[in-house]
Every structure is written in C-alpha cells, then in structure tokens.
Chain A
Amino acid sequence: DGGITQSPKYLFRKEGQNVTLSCEQNLNHDAMYWYRQDPGQGLRLIYYSQIVNDFQKGDIAEGYSVSREKKESFPLTVTSAQKNPTAFYLCASSQLRQGASKQYFGPGTRLTVT
C-alpha cells in the first residue's frame, strides 16, 4: 500500500531537548511538507521541499530544521530554540502539478514538551 508514515504517533520530551520527527512516503512524490497545527487552529507551513537536497522555509520555520537526503524521507527536527513546540505535526507529500497537486497526509505526530 502506498502512503505516508509518521512516527511516533505520540512523543514526550523535556524542555531544552532536540527531537526529530520521522516522515517517509512511498508515493514517489517530489514535494514534501511539514505543517504545525495548534488546538482549534488551521495548518501552518514549517518547511517544504520540492527536490532532494533542497528545501524552503515556510511561514514558521524558526526553531525547526529539516533535511531531504532521499526522495522518500523528510525528517523534521524541533530544536530547543522553538519556544512553544507542543503541537500536532503533520507531514504531507504531493506531485508537482500546478493547481492540481493534491496533498496526501501522514497520520501526524503529537508532540508534548514539558
């Protein structure tokens, strides 16, 4: 079955620690995205990548870092510089077709930092 996997589903960390969230897709999509969602809010773009070894900042990139060493993988690191990291994190991927690029989402990782 093709799809996007994110792990873990729930993650707990102490303040001051870096944490890496995994995202893998086997859809052969060129583009991958990381979103953050706070309770009762919409999705905000953190980073996106359209090609291996290249990525762009989204609206709220501060305190986060990513890498895209392989087409199928796009891990997100939440660093200790992120002031309010507790949130629901969603990874998505899509083909690169202007307008018609439907995004496929992983199940999400709920991060709690105390």
Chain B
Amino acid sequence: QQPVQSPQAVILREGEDAVINCSSSKALYSVHWYRQKHGEAPVFLMILLKGGEQKGHEKISASFNEKKQQSSLYLTASQLSYSGTYFCGLMDSNYQLIWGAGTKLIIKP
C-alpha cells in the first residue's frame, strides 16, 4: 500500500524551514528519501534502516519512528536549490520500493 506524504505542496521563502512527513499503514523496514527536479530523474537523499535512526546531509535530515510507522524529512534554512518534489519510498521484502505520491516544495527568493 502506498505511503501517505504530507503536505502535498509547500511554498517557502529562502531561509525558512520545512518538514515533510511520510506515513504507512504497514510496518516500516526502511525508508528512502529522494528529490526530483522537474523533467529529471529522482536523486537519492538518504535511507533510514531502523527505528529511531536519524540522518543528515548538509541541512537536510530525516528521522524514522518505527512505532508510529512514520518518517519525517527536515529541511533547515532552505536554499533555492532545494526546490523540487520529494518522494519517500518504503522497501518491501521483494526489494521493491513502494513510492509515495510526492511533496512539491517551492522556494522563493
């Protein structure tokens, strides 16, 4: 079953923070986060493999709450380059990623 991402879209001013959530009705084993710019392929951001894990890449970090079956992506002091659509993916036992519908992030100067 497809994970649910929220919000569907968010508009920020450069320098503001954002949180994108990804939740599932099934138990989560790992959560993948990708960003896609318009007309391009998705680009890998990070994988969280176990509950409680937190990771960061520059000013983008994520957490994984296994009990709540939820992951959150945090973008701090957003830059124009952060614009795009963010997807979470949940890996199943067949190595397939089940993708969320995406969250569109627009950063204005």
Contacts of A94 in B (CB 8 A): 95
Give Cα A101 to B44, complex, Å: 11
Contacts A41-B101, A42-B101 hold; do A90 and B41 have CB atoms under 8 A apart?
yes
A99 touches B40 (CB 8 A): no
Distance from B7 Cβ to chain A, minimum over Cβ atoms (Å) = 15
Contacts of A104 in B (CB 8 A): 44
Contacts of B101 in A (CB 8 A): 41-42
Give Cα A84 to B109, complex, Å: 38
Residues of A in contact (CB 8 Å), total 27
Segment among A43-51, A61-69, A71-79 that sits at the interface with chain B: A43-51
Contacts A99-B49, A108-B40, A108-B41 hold; do A45 and B32 have CB atoms under 8 A apart?
no
Contact partner of A42 (CB less than 8 A), chosen from B94, B96, B102, is B102
Asked if B29 is at the interface (CB within 8 A of a chain A CB), the reply is yes
Residues of B in contact (CB 8 Å), total 23
B-binding residues in A (CB < 8 A)? 31, 33, 41-45, 48, 50, 56, 58, 88, 90, 94, 96, 98-108, 110
**23 A-B interface contacts by CB (under 8 A):** A41-B101, A41-B102, A42-B2, A42-B100, A43-B99, A50-B95, A90-B41, A90-B42, A94-B95, A98-B30, A98-B95, A99-B30, A99-B47, A100-B47, A100-B49, A101-B91, A102-B32, A102-B44, A103-B97, A105-B42, A107-B40, A108-B41, A110-B39
Q: A43-B99, A96-B95 given. 8 additional CB < 8 A pairs?
A: A42-B87, A42-B99, A43-B87, A90-B42, A98-B91, A99-B47, A100-B47, A102-B32
